[in-house]
Amino acid sequence: MGLIEDVKKFLELRLEDLIKQNPWIELHILDEKLEQQEVEVNKLVLSFADQEAQFQKQILALAEDVSLWHRRAQKATAANRSDLAQAAKEREASLLKEGNQLWAQMELVKQRSVQAQELLQQIKKRRQEVRQKLEQVEQSKKTKTETSPRFDWQNLRTPDRDEDDPLEQQFRRWELDEELEQLKRRMK
């Protein structure tokens, strides 16, 4: 087991180094995670909508039963059948209580649905921010590639570039890391 753990740690460290050297990879990972969250929350929103529809059906069915027992209680009272009238009123009260419980449950589902929809919008917004950042990184990589000096075959040397400056590379990496951290903080 020790060897497997060592290999696992080594691979994790290599992956972390790779991500540090290529921050756009972290943006891709973040985009994928946000996409997964978007799918999950979307399923949750649909589930809440289904639950709400089921509660509405149950409440309508109960309302019909309450109406039926109310009419029966009135009919029994009019016929001087107090025993039946009392039993019908008790049934009506029981159905009303059940309806109130269902209504409360439906309202809770509605609240959760609204919260899930708000969360979905936040995730979409964050994902859009990450995609914009990815586009910026891709564009800057593309620009660097297009504008990078070409190899001077006659002199067999490359012209001086800022990319060869270690301090320039450190600052670029640091600035990009800061932008990633700011983006992460905004997404929390």
pLDDT tens-digit readout, 140-187: 777 766 655 544 434 444 444 455 677 777 777 777 777 777 777 776
**Is-contact 52 103, C-beta < 8 A?**
no
pLDDT at 151: 43
pLDDT of residue 36: 93
Q: Which of 86, 94, 99, 92 is nearest to 70 (CA)?
A: 92
Q: Domains of the chain: which residue ranges?
A: 2-128+171-187
Whether 37 contacts 45, CB under 8 Å: no
Q: In this structure, are residues 48 and 113 in contact, taking their beta carbons and an 8 Å threshold?
A: yes
The pTM (predicted TM-score) of the whole model is 0.60
Under CATH, what is the fold of the domain 2-128+171-187? Answer: Helix Hairpins (1.10.287)
Tokens read off for 188: 């929390």
How many other β-carbons are positioned within 10 Å of the β-carbon of residue 6?
10
pLDDT digits (tens, 9 = 90+) for 106-131: 999 999 999 999 999 999 998 898 88
The Cα–Cα gap between 182 and 128 comes to 15
Q: What are phi and psi of 88, to 5 degrees?
A: -65, -40
Residues contacting 38, CB < 8 A, separation 6+: 120, 123, 124, 127
CA–CA distance, 127 with 35 (Å, rounded to integer):
7
- 15 touches 22 (CB < 8 A): no
Q: Note the pLDDT of residue 59.
A: 96
Closest CA to 123 of 32, 35, 47: 35
- 158-178 per-residue burial string, b: 16 or more CB within 10 A, e: under 16: eeeeeeeeeeeeeeeeeebee
pLDDT (0 to 100) of residue 137: 79
Place of tokens 């009419």: 71
